[in-house]
């Protein structure tokens, strides 16, 4: 059963309120809280499936494909990006547990993350967004409050999908729809389950949707999802750019880490400029555990000093966590001790999250 937008907004507030309550109670609650790094991001993707693109054509003309061609106009996507207040999203939707999004490689992957320069950065400016659309010929020719596509005369109205499984999806959608209304773009919001969204995404039966990624420390995979050949596979948008495709191949054979970094910076710049999707925010991992009964969870220092207690990229926590007052496991521990550790892993951690999804929105399981 689908949740209403009001139910989702209430749910997101309850999750954040619960975490804030645990933070406020501190040690008195017997629960220790921890704010981890922002390793995942939420994004708004555009249907850019172009029937004239060699790699994408077979997917764009399939039955059910319904992307609005206006979203293939860079001016429309650029205007939309300027109309979204990412800082307000962080403050009001994430309750401060995050940072405004920029590129598809999150800052925790510090060596490869590219942060746009002041000249490149897209901020929040409704007037600028309106001017971009004015200059591109999108005017409200029928005086109904919505701009019209100069090529077709149709209203600039987009089907806008949010996930019912997301704690914050509907609330986030309300903010974005409100900002787009201010620049003469109408939206038809729809809150659907992940299964339906995967079907619509795979069939290119959407205009815009909100979802999220949790990339690995090495950015190769997240970069690969924007290559032309991934249309109909892992691509969020059916973005197709031969220059980007070549850069992806180049970074795989770069002779030094520094040379690879430069190429990956260029790839992020390309996506940030072309805007096949908008990285809305980076959301922090919120963790809490029963510290009255368990100890040994330590903040790892990799990949950043602001690390995880539990969701680490090493088995460190599994080796150090133990019932309070007992000895830490050693390499000479018996097999029964190892089994004890394995058996308690799922019981001791309570993860309190506001992420749209933790480790990936479209898994192989989703696509089966």
HSE at residue 355, side-chain half, CA atoms within 13 A, is 25
Q: What is the C-alpha to C-alpha distance for residues 16 and 155, in angstroms, rounded to an integer?
A: 38
Give pLDDT, residue 11.
Answer: 45
Token pair in block for residue 120: 């490149």
Average pLDDT along the chain, 368 residues, taken 10 residues at a time: 36 62 69 83 92 70 73 97 97 92 94 96 98 98 96 95 85 95 96 88 88 92 94 89 96 98 98 97 86 74 60 73 75 43 41 33 38
HSE at residue 38, side-chain half, CA atoms within 13 A, is 25
Q: Which domains does the chain have, with CATH numbers?
A: 8-35+287-351 (no CATH), 41-284 (3.10.105.10)
Rg (the chain; Cα; Å): 22
């Amino acid at each position: 059963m689908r949740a209403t937008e009001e139910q989702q907004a209430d749910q997101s507030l309850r999750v954040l309120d619960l975490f804030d309550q645990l933070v406020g109670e501190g040690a008195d609650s017997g629960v220790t809280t921890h704010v981890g790094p922002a390793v995942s991001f939420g994004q708004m993707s555009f249907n850019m499936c172009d029937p004239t693109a060699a790699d994408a054509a077979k997917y764009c003309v399939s039955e059910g494909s319904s992307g609005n061609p206006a979203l293939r106009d860079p001016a429309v996507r650029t205007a939309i990006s300027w109309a979204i207040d990412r800082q307000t999203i962080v403050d009001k939707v994430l309750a401060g547990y995050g940072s405004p999004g920029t590129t598809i490689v999150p800052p925790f992957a510090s060596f490869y993350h590219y942060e746009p320069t002041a000249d490149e950065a897209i901020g929040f400016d409704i007037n600028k967004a309106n001017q971009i659309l004015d200059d591109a010929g999108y005017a409200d020719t029928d005086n109904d409050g919505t701009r019209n596509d100069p090529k077709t005369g149709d209203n600039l109205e987009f089907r806008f999908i949010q996930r019912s499984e997301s704690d914050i999806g509907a609330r986030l959608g309300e903010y974005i729809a409100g900002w787009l209304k201010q620049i003469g773009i109408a939206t038809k919001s729809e809150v659907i389950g992940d299964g339906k969204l995967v079907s619509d995404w795979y069939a290119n039966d959407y205009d815009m949707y909100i979802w999220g990624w949790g990339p690995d420390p090495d950015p190769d995979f997240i970069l690969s999802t924007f290559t032309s050949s991934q249309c109909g596979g892992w691509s969020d948008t059916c973005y197709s750019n031969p220059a980007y495709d070549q850069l992806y191949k180049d970074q795989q054979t770069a002779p030094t880490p520094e040379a690879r970094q430069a190429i990956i910076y260029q790839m992020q710049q390309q996506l940030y400029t072309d805007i096949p999707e908008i990285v809305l925010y980076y959301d922090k991992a919120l963790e809490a555990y029963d510290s009255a009964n368990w100890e040994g969870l330590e903040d790892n220092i990799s990949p950043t000093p602001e690390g995880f207690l539990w969701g680490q990229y090493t088995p460190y926590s599994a080796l150090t966590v133990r019932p309070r007052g007992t000895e830490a496991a050693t390499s000479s521990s018996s097999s029964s001790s190892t089994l004890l550790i394995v058996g308690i892993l799922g019981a001791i951690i309570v993860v309190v999250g506001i992420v749209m999804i933790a480790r990936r929105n479209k898994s192989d399981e989703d696509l089966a």
